[in-house]
Amino acid sequence: MSDRTPPPAASGAPPRLQLEGIGKVYPGVVANEGIDLAVRPGEIRAILGENGAGKSTLMKIIYGVTRPSAGRILWEGQAVQVENPAHARSLGIGMVFQHFSLFETLSVAENVALALPGRPALDELSRRIAEVSERYGLPVDPRRRIHALSVGERQRVEIIRCLLQHPRLLILDEPTSVLTPQAVRKLFGTLRQLSAEGCSILYISHKLDEIQALCHTATVLRGGRVSGECIPARETAQSMASLMIGRALPHCEHTAARADGELRLRLAGLSHASDDPFGTDLQDIHLDLHAGEVVGIAGVSGNGQQALLRAISGEDTLAEKFPVQICGVEAGRLGPAQRRRLGLCFVPEERLGRGVVPDLSLADNALLTAAYSQAMVAAGFLRAGRAHRFARRCIEAFGVKCGGSGALAGSLSGGNLQKFIIGREILQAPKVFVCAQPTWGVDVGAAAFIRQSIIDLRDRGCAVLVVSEEVDELFEICDRIAVIAKGRLSPARPAAGATVEEIGVWMSGMWPGAEPATHVEAANA
């Protein structure tokens, strides 16, 4: 925190951006109401709020994606109506979205070219991309196609795309969720450098520690309105949290794990070549997971997490049986449904479209994975009553805010949907519970609840494996932590003795006993 630059002195110059009484009404929803906001040149202002507080809508209004229903926008003292994102970019506004706006079938360089005016030559552009990615510590190969990139890598492309246009106001929507601690610090260095050069930054986040480390000022949103403004350096995490969620910040109870649990999941030399030419091959992965413990797998996204999870869940089956053993059964060649019957439950990284079907009701989505464990199928026919009862149990036990078991999954907010999915898997009383990114994009209150649910599940004797890119989260809930880098898995070490620094170094592939660095180049240090 000591390296935070002081906020620029107030001067006679007009704010770079000023919002007056901005409101936005969607059919049936008031997303924003009476929002006032001002950002001075060089100021880094946090927009703090839970999911659904109206942060993203407000940013879309500034970036010209949606029009406000009320209020006005002043850009450098002049009233403007931002017609569309191209107009916003021509004004000097750049935005990195939380949900990426990239074309999957095009390469990185082609995607960047689309956002730039004119028709830039791809070779020249690739060189500039390489330059920027080098300078700002955002490694990405300009020739790769987007569909082959991980979530974290896609975000880097978005950031680079903005930086290439030398914006005077940069909007970042939860940019750090997929970066290593070291990479976060590097990004913050970049942002401070931009700020010192006079670029204003709107930094959307719900991570209080980041905001305290980076931002000069903060505007807190709750329920679509401004609930307060503050200087983060003068606040505590608790005081900002209470502005944000209206009550104190919840935290998890984490007692020591049982030491004598039986072996539930064993990865015995799991190797798997990726089907995707740009994917990460898994190489000789070993891991033992016991009943009554939570093991975390840290790592920068794109280092083989997706392949590892698919190999464990059965979405990718293996050529051999032995590399994946679930409760003593060699399961390498079994599909997801068969592994589920061995006691494995799995929460995938993507919710809509993988964890649930958006256009089906919650009851139908309960059928997706719980059909056999909850006897929702008899003689090939569905027992709708049982599916609805089970969905209602998930809703009640996990406090899912929705319109009942008949509500479409796609109508739920991200946090509520994640609670439903986790509830659906946990309430099947799994023997092995594997969870990817348990709190990605979930608000603080829901995240604490989900973490506590995972620890409670462990205390009931379940073996839990959590794959997350948020190192702090892993330290909060895990008994042991391993790191995945370049498709290899480090040994798991007790979380109690480890530090974030150490795990951060391991995330670049340099753990004791790892292959020489010629083979495993530093990924993201």
Nearer CB in complex with other proteins: 126/437: 437
Please name every residue paired with 361 in a beta bridge, in sequence order, or none if there are none: 408
Q: C-alpha distances in angstroms, 190 versus 135, 195, 210, 424, 511?
A: 9, 9, 14, 41, 27
* Nearer Cβ to other proteins (115/368): 368
Length in residues, the chain: 525
Tell me the closest approach of the beta carbon of residue 87 to other proteins, in angstroms: 14
Q: What are phi and psi of 505, to 5 degrees?
A: -65, -45
| Residue closer to other proteins, measured from CB, 242 or 274 | 274
Q: Does 355 bind other proteins (CB under 8 A)?
A: yes
Angle at 301 between CA 159 and CA 89, to 5 degrees: 10
Nearer to other proteins, 29 or 196 (CB): 29
| C-alpha 57 chain-centroid distance | 19
Lookup: tokens for 204: 């959307």
Among residues 69 and 242, whose Cβ is nearest to other proteins?
69
- Binding of other proteins by 346 (CB under 8 A): yes
Member of 49, 64, 323, 348 binding other proteins (CB under 8 A): 348
DSSP code for 6: P
Does residue 6 belong to the site contacting other proteins (CB under 8 A)?
no
Tell me if 78 contacts other proteins by CB under 8 A: no
Decide if residue 356 touches other proteins (CB under 8 A): yes
Sheet of 29-39, strand order: 29-39, 17-26, 70-75, 78-80
Query: Could you say whether residue 350 binds other proteins (CB under 8 A)?
Result: yes
Q: Which of 81, 84, 90, 238 binds other proteins (CB under 8 A)?
A: 81
Please report whether residue 14 would count as binding other proteins according to CB under 8 A. no
Contact map string, positions 365 to 404, toward other proteins, x by CB under 8 A: --xxx-x-----x--xxx----------------------
Of 249-288, which residues contact other proteins (CB under 8 A)? Answer: none
Q: Is residue 139 a contact point for other proteins (CB under 8 A)?
A: no
For 71, the token pair is 């209020």
* Options 38, 80, 408, 520; binder of other proteins; rule CB under 8 A: 408
- Whose tokens are 């083989």? That residue is 304
Task: Give the DSSP per-residue string, 252-301.
Answer: ---PPPPS-PPEEEEEEEEEE--SSTTSPPEEEEEEEEETT-EEEEE--T
> How many Cα atoms are found within 13 Å in the side-chain-facing hemisphere of 157?
33
364 interacts with other proteins by CB under 8 A: yes
- How far apart (Å, rounded) are the C-alpha atoms in residues 266 and 324? 6
What angle (nearest 5°) sits at the alpha carbon of residue 168, between those of residues 162 and 169?
Answer: 75
293 binds other proteins (CB under 8 A): no
Q: Is 338 helix (H, G, I), strand (E, B) or coil?
A: helix
Q: What angle do CA 230, 232, 236 make, to 5 degrees?
A: 105
Number of residues that bind other proteins (CB under 8 A): 37
Structure tokens at 400: 């899912």
Residue 23 interacting with other proteins (CB under 8 A)? no
Residue 247 touches other proteins, criterion: CB under 8 A: no
Nearer to other proteins, 328 or 353 (CB): 353
Q: Measured from the CB of residue 336, what is the shortest distance to other proteins in angstroms?
A: 3
Residue 360 interacts with other proteins (CB under 8 A): yes or no: yes
Of 189, 198, 335, 406, the one binding other proteins by CB under 8 A? 335
Q: Give the one residue of 354, 396, 397, 406 binding other proteins; rule: CB under 8 A.
A: 354
Helices within 148-259 (DSSP H only): 151-163, 181-196, 208-214, 237-245
Residues of this chain that bind other proteins (CB under 8 A): 26-29, 81, 313-315, 335-340, 346, 348, 350, 353-360, 364, 367-369, 371, 377, 380-382, 408, 410-411
